Amino acid sequence: MVGGVIDFGHVGLQVRDLDRSLAYYRDVLGLRVVERGVRSDRYLADITGYPGVELDIAVLETPTGVLVELLEYTNVVGEPVDTATHNPGTGHVCFQVEDVDAIYHSALDAGHGAVSPPVTPTSGRWTGGRSVYLIDPDGIRVELVQRGPSPDSLGG
């Protein structure tokens, strides 16, 4: 296909308070901050559709190089949306982790929520592993997944 997708760029999440969200994604989930700054470039007004927009932006990175962009619109009034995953137009972000249960407990200890305690998937590619939906400070669902035992280790 001419002009088709060649790679994944980043996931962008709009947040109410960038410092609060940075504490979550950096300190609870362990992502690395690679960029932070306030920007009001003309093209940002054009692409977002908000004349004179000012964005406080942080870009974080996973160990494999996937980028997560957190954006706080500092001079545009925003209203929280119902982020329940069954609502059309909402989404979630998913990270593969080494230990779902450890991060789940860290999130709870830091005062954050989860939809439920971690579960063990019984079908699909995460069968036998662990999975949980955490809830970030803005209500965004953050799925964590952990691979199960390999078929070789199960004697199969």
The reply to whether 14 and 36 lie within a common domain is yes
The reply to whether 72 and 87 lie within a common domain is no
pLDDT at 23 over 80: yes
Angle in degrees, CA 6, 8, 11, rounded to 5: 150
Domain range enclosing 98: 83-156
51-84 confidence digits (pLDDT tens): 999 999 999 999 999 999 999 999 988 888 888 8
* pLDDT range class, residue 10, cuts 50, 70, 90: very high
The reply to whether 122 and 56 lie within a common domain is no
Element (H, E) at 105: helix 100-109
**Three-state SS for 100?**
helix
**Of the candidates 22, 48, 76, which is a domain's last residue?**
76
The reply to whether 71 and 141 lie within a common domain is no
The reply to whether 107 and 154 lie within a common domain is yes
120-144 confidence digits (pLDDT tens): 999 999 999 999 999 999 999 999 9
The reply to whether 87 and 155 lie within a common domain is yes
Averaged pLDDT, 12-32 = 97
Beta-carbon contacts of 50 under 8 Å, excluding residues fewer than 6 positions away, are 73, 76
The reply to whether 97 and 67 lie within a common domain is no
How many domains does the chain contain in total? 2
Q: Give the domain CATH number at 105.
A: 3.10.180.10
The reply to whether 92 and 53 lie within a common domain is no
d(CA 41, CA 53): 8
The reply to whether 91 and 21 lie within a common domain is no
The reply to whether 70 and 95 lie within a common domain is no
The reply to whether 89 and 24 lie within a common domain is no
The whole model's pTM is what?
Answer: 0.89
The reply to whether 97 and 51 lie within a common domain is no
